[in-house]
Amino acid sequence: MLTVIDLRGRTPSTSELRRALPRGGTDVNAVLPTVAPIVDAVREHGARAALEYGEKFDGVTPASVKVPADVVAAALASLDEDVITALNEVISRVRKVHAEQKPAPHTTTLAEGATVTEVHLPIERVGLYVPGGKAVYPSSVIMNVVPAQEAGCSSLVVASPPQADHEGWPHPTILAACHLLGVDEIWAVGGAQAVALLAYGDDEAGLEPVDIVTGPGNIFVTAAKRLVQGVVGIDAEAGPSEIAVLADASADPVYIAYDLISQAEHDDLAASVLITDSAELAEKVDAEIDARYTVTRNADRVAGALGGRQSGIVLVDDLEQGIAVADAYAAEHLEIHTENPRQVAERIRHAGAIFVGAYSPVPLGDYAAGSNHVLPTSGTARFSSGLSTHTFLREVNLIEYDRVALKEIGPHIIALADAEDLPAHGESIRARFEAMGEQN
């Protein structure tokens, strides 16, 4: 089922690898002309336009954009107890990890009376998008909300598409997860129109705009995030889910097959890639996939993803080349199935998250590892990070110099100001001492 790319016997450059490795063809630019009018309409007409687009795309109009508290409470009451228990356990684990991510203030003393203190201030109001298309993602509620809460954000709103099967409200499991997390503002709006409404708000409808929009979504959500960036911050332009597995002959082909299948069921565009120096393992994994993927309820989706050009098997000469290929691919999720997997994992430089050994599969990270599952895709792990407490913090420097410290550095400031032909900068320094009859 999987296409094989054989890199054995040669050492491709980074440029060659970027062209040769499996990669999807998602093009955000191609949908910008479709999404821009939606964003423009919501900017001009607010909630009314957002609801109209919801009717067009989701086939339903909720009674209000804001989900009433009694609807949210009823959603939790309707949820199976085992699901509530699971959600609470996941919340606890994710909260512990993200609470420990928050950095402490740090003061650097440059001279007596000259300090710079770095503090981390939370973004005040955040908009957290939770998709609701081919699957239900209460886990995405947790992955967005918890780091924002741990950062200290004072105001949170979750937006998720209205569901025709649930009287126009978001899926009850989404609402229940919000309730468990203490989120009391939920908007029944999805897609590009949700992103636009979060960015621009609507005073008449009582919808306050946010300062940052985070969370995964389809290509239209991604395009809308690109269009509103600058009006608000965004976390990233997320593409389809992807997994790469770096494995040697010691790996279990059944484990790898299931892990590749599990990510493929997200979406027809999802990417599943095996990188290995063992042709025998590659054949076994491909055979196991053929034998097992049909048992999943999402078999058609899995077949579409695994048969697409974004998925495949990459054969390499040895583990060294495998590491180089994995770094060039820069997977959203990278599993390491080798002898001494921790040693190999510590050599990887480009991945959204690294799953070490046979008992740390990606589904663990999707739900309950404690790490965040909102991660960089499409190779962007080379220069960006996943969602975390840091996403919702701003580093601010407190610069504090006394008179003696300023006088000491003053001549250097004046010299550089003159060199840049900005004399008023130097005069700003000089004036503080001339006023006191001092020479700088």
User: What would the mean pLDDT of 285-296 be, rounded to a whole number?
Assistant: 93
Would you say 310 is a known binding-site residue? no
- Nearest residue to 410 (alpha-carbon basis) of 367, 439, 379, 375: 439
Q: pLDDT at residue 12 above 70? A: yes
- Nearest residue to 267 (alpha-carbon basis) of 381, 387, 131: 131
pLDDT for the residue 312: 96
CA distance 128 to 371: 17
Half-sphere exposure (Cβ direction) of 252: Cα atoms closer than 13 Å: 8
Query: What is the overall mean pLDDT for the chain?
Result: 95
CA angle 207, 158, 151 (to 5 degrees): 105
Would you say 118 is a known binding-site residue? no
Identify whether the C-beta of residue 242 lies closer than 8 Å to the C-beta of residue 376. Answer: no
Query: What's the pLDDT tens digit per position in 127-182?
Result: 999 998 667 889 999 999 999 999 999 999 999 999 999 999 999 999 999 999 99
Query: What's the pLDDT tens digit per position in 199-220?
Result: 999 999 999 999 999 998 889 9
Would you say 425 is a known binding-site residue? yes
Would you say 106 is a known binding-site residue? no
pLDDT for the residue 27: 82
Would you say 53 is a known binding-site residue? no
Share of the chain above pLDDT 70, in %: 98
Label residue 42 by pLDDT band (50, 70, 90).
very high
Would you say 263 is a known binding-site residue? yes
Fold of domain 239-385: Rossmann fold (3.40.50)
Kindly list the catalytic residues: 332-333
Would you say 298 is a known binding-site residue? no
List where CATH 3.40.50.1980 sits in the chain: 30-100+122-235, 239-385
Q: pLDDT at residue 17 above 90? A: yes
pLDDT for the residue 137: 87
Tell me which CATH code domain 30-100+122-235 carries. 3.40.50.1980
Identify whether the C-beta of residue 118 lies closer than 8 Å to the C-beta of residue 396. Answer: yes
Burial status of residue 163 (CB atoms within 10 A of its CB: 0-12, 13-18, 19 or more): buried
3-state secondary structure of 183: coil
pLDDT for the residue 1: 82
